[in-house]
Structure 1
Amino acid sequence: MRTKTIAVVYAFGAASPVQISRAADGLADIVFVTDTRDEHSASVTSILRDLCVDLVDLAETDHESAVRRLRSRVDGITTFSERCITLTSRLAADLGLPYHDERTARLLTDKHLQRTALNAALPVATPTRVVRCLDDLAEAAESVGFPLVLKPLSGTAGAFTYRCDTYDVLHETVRRLLRDRRGQDGPSWVAEALLRPGRHPGGAWLADYVSVESLIRDGEVHHFAVTDKLPLAPPFRETGMVSPSALTGERQREVRALTSAALRALGVTHGVTHTEVKLTPDGPRVIEVNGRLGGRVGRLIDRVSDLDPVRLAIENALGGALLTASPVFSGAAVVYGVLPPSRRVKVGAVPTAKTLRRIEEVWKVDRMAGVEEVLDWEQGSGQRVCDVWAETGDLTAVPALLDRLEGAVSAAVSFEPV
């Protein structure tokens, strides 16, 4: 039997080249499609070439040539990067392969259009307005109200996302963004009503929102996991996550049902999605739907269950058997991200992997920033010093583990003003 081939459109995102390669092992050969005009993609080009049977570099070939090169050899296509969803949709359409269609891809990557579609379909609407200039602010403030969230029309990782409690704060924030040309090439932002804060029934050590990881095939939806989050760093920067979820079965059914309704509203019929859901006092509310596997989710679930979500996404793209069973967990895993304070800083000291590995539950430390490197909190949770990955026998041991991680990090990391 011929080995199948998967086209993976690659940029910085949820799964690394090595993760993707390991997940595809014994399942499919990989053709990476990337653009080395992007700094990150250029930095990992040699790794990509080592892990695939072919690399299509869009910096060296046009779209039509890329399609001709792929047409005769690939059996499926996917991406793990938010910024590649639109490109992957276009390639899939030209290749006749299943993926998000053009309309759905646009709804998944344009936060205002997505919220408008969700408002039309879900029982409770969240007011939203597009902001392109200072003249838009009065209407946005009147229709959305305060407090509100201001975020890029298209973006990830909480980058350039702000809480505005008054008109003066909103005005000054947009004025500064326009002046400094930060956050958007456009520029365009979305002003949305801030969802009411709630609490996670699992305890105050968890954030008041979760994510639902879903696989969709021919319109059939299977939610394969619910993932808990650690409390956000101000204003909306994700610090970490925990798997499996501490939500009861009934609460998980609520968020899964809401996610199914959201996916139907956006026309998602094929792929893997990551939906963030707020646990408000009035019930679960959709924060946003992402048209790819959630960042760091794949490694987290794979570590303590019998399911590799990255492999699942590849199998789905290739038309393999549809997953019908939920993963079986053998323990609990946590990823703890070390973020800078809410100001622009230079890294003064960082914890060594050796120091953090002294905590017996820690199995991996990913270094992302070094001494003297400048970190900009406005660029969101992607600006991290490191990620610490750890696992325990069950969820009840996670709060104490987090206390030890926080203590070890606090003693070893420092920041200096810029």
Structure 2
Amino acid sequence: MTTGLPDRPRLLIVYEEGAAGAGELLRSLGDRYQLCFVAADTPHTRAVLPILRAAGPVVALDEWQARLTELRRWRPDGITTFSELIPATAQLAEALGLPYHSPATAHLLTDKHAQRARLAALSLDSTRTALVTGPADLLTAATAVGLPAVLKPVVGKGSTDTRPLTDAAAVARAAATLHPGRAYVLEEYLRGEPIAGLGDYVSVETVLAPDGPRHLAVTGKFPQAEPFRECGQFWPSGLTAAQERQIHGRTEQILAALGVRVGIAHTEFKWTADGPRLIEVNGRLGGWIAELAGRATGADLLTVAADLACGGEGREAVPYDRAGVCFQFWNQPPLEAAELRSLHGVREVRATAGVQHYFNLVPPGPLALGVSTQRLDLTAGHVESHPAMLRLVAAALTPLSFTFTDASGRQFTEAAEALPSWKR
């Protein structure tokens, strides 16, 4: 492993599929930083390994301790991750003496039960929760938490295996399908109120710089596809300025309580009749937020994250100024779809006035099994208002359709407007 060039900061990136892909990292950071990757051994990482190696040295994640002397000799200026490998990044940062989340904070950011427990102990969260490690636990937890409730893995992303439990029959069905050896958390269902006639939850994008936290935006959301699959997001949120200030204050209290002091945080809230209620905190850049910020403000949040990791102030990141509505919309497949065969109408979508770009995100082939957010495509645009956004999405995607097969091999075609993303 060679040392970094003297005129460019040296940045370690702990890599796995996440909020920034290999190509994006190379485009944003390749000319500004000397890069080194500590990469998990997964199908995704193996597929992009040539891109990573074109950008810099690559060390296997399970080998970093054996190669610690080599990594120290490389003399990194900073470390970060854009994936869920936050605990591994924290351990490596501690071993190299680099600023990052402490291992204790990393645990709180990735263990949903520990996160709730920590915030409850400080009177910063009142959501009823219970840890579930097996079928018997789930039955006990349902009594303690009450129904309706939400069951989710203690460690997970993308709403994977997250499901509502509305009655005793749903609890019994869920108990029979728990993965052995996996921990879950059962949480009180937070009943939201739609914001600007759209989704009932938001996220807060926060830069944590040496001079303190700065909030880039409160991100509004499209209504979810069942059970809890994300369908899109936009700036501004649709909340009033006073409501956003309330959420900013809650976010700062929560981040401080968890010990989050560096990098970019993505904090999700449900908007309820009683105001904002925490969903969860993520100690990394949120999914697709970099693309949204690039179009909305011109800021490259990958560069901002790298600058913060290397001791900078992330000044390139600026708050959204509320000039119009910048949005992203994703179609979600039917839950019974096992394979994407083809899509139709792309040319018409791209020709629609107001659409800045459209591209498919999943190539024809098998789809992920189980329940999770699975973005088939991205429609992005900029319009003058939230109602105009809804009109544009409806007009742009009306010609679009997808052909799927289910687990039995049955082939079927669905218009985009019939997909779960559109069922309000």
Could you tell me the TM-score, scaled by structure 2's length? 0.88
The DSSP-based 3-state class of the residue aligned with 1:211 is strand
Letter in 1 for 2:394: D
1:95-116 Cα distance to aligned partner (Å, 9 max, x none): 1111110110000000000011
What does 1:1-16 correspond to in 2, within 5 Å?
2-16=7-21
Return the alpha-carbon distance in structure 2 between the equivalents of residues 131 and 302 of structure 1. 40
User: Which residue of structure 1 aligns with residue 74 of structure 2?
Assistant: 72
Matches within 5 A, 1:334-413: 334-351=327-344, 353-371=346-364, 373-376=366-369, 378-381=370-373, 383-393=374-384, 395=386, 397-409=388-400, 412-413=401-402
**How far does residue 292 in structure 1 lie from its aligned partner after superposition?**
0.4
1:33 to 27, 38, 56: 38
**Secondary structure at the residue paired with 2:372?**
helix
Contact kept, 8 Å, 1:147 with 1:163, in 2: the verdict is yes
- 3-state SS of the aligned residue for 2:114? helix
CA distance in 2, matches of 1:247, 1:113: 30
- 2:194 is equivalent to residue 190 of structure 1: no
Structure 2 counterparts to residues 209-288 of structure 1, below 5 A: 209-218=201-210, 220-288=212-280
Map of 1:414 onto structure 2: 403
Match of 2:101 in 1: 100
Q: What is the DSSP-based 3-state SS (H/G/I as helix, E as strand, rest coil) of the residue aligned with 1:129? A: strand
| Bigger mean CA deviation after superposition, 26-35 or 165-174 | 26-35
Deviation digits for residues 333-385 of structure 1, max 9, x if unmatched?
22211111233443343136434212233333342334453453x3411x232
TM-score by length of 1: 0.89
Cα distance in 2 between the residues matched to 1:26 and 1:348:
38
Read off the aligned partner of 1:30 and give its amino acid letter: L
Q: How many residues align?
A: 401
Unaligned runs of at least 5 residues, structure 2 = 1-5, 408-424
The amino acid across from 1:56 in the alignment is V
Task: Indicate if the aligned counterparts of 1:161 and 1:236 stay in contact, CA closer than 8 A.
Answer: yes
- SS of the equivalent of 2:208 reads strand
Preserved contact between residue 299 and residue 318 of structure 2 (Cα < 8 Å) = no
2:319 maps to 326
Q: Using the TM superposition, give the Cα deviation of residue 304 of structure 1 relative to its aligned residue in structure 2, in angstroms.
A: 1.9
CA contact 2:236–2:320 (8 Å) conserved in 1 = no
In structure 2, the residue matched to 1:199 is: 194
Residues 53 and 415 of structure 1, relative CA distance in 2, 3 Å threshold:
closer
Secondary structure of the residue aligned to 2:382 is strand
Superposed displacement of residue 67, structure 1: 5.3
C-alpha spacing 1:231/1:313, structure 2 compared with 1 (3 Å)? same
CA contact (8 A) 2:296 2:326 kept: yes
Matches within 5 A, 1:125-140: 125-140=126-141
Cα drift, residue 23 of structure 1: 2.6
% identity of equivalent residues:
34
SS of match in other structure, 1:64: coil
* 1:351–1:47 distance in 2 versus 1, CA, 3 Å: farther
SS of the residue aligned with 1:350? Answer: strand
User: In structure 1, what residue type is equivalent to 2:381?
Assistant: A
Instruction: State how far apart, in whole Å, the 2-side matches of 1:388 and 1:331 are.
Output: 17
Give the AA of the match of 1:392. V
Is contact 1:306-1:328 (8 Å) kept?
A: no
1:25-45 Cα distance to aligned partner (Å, 9 max, x none): 55322212213x211000001
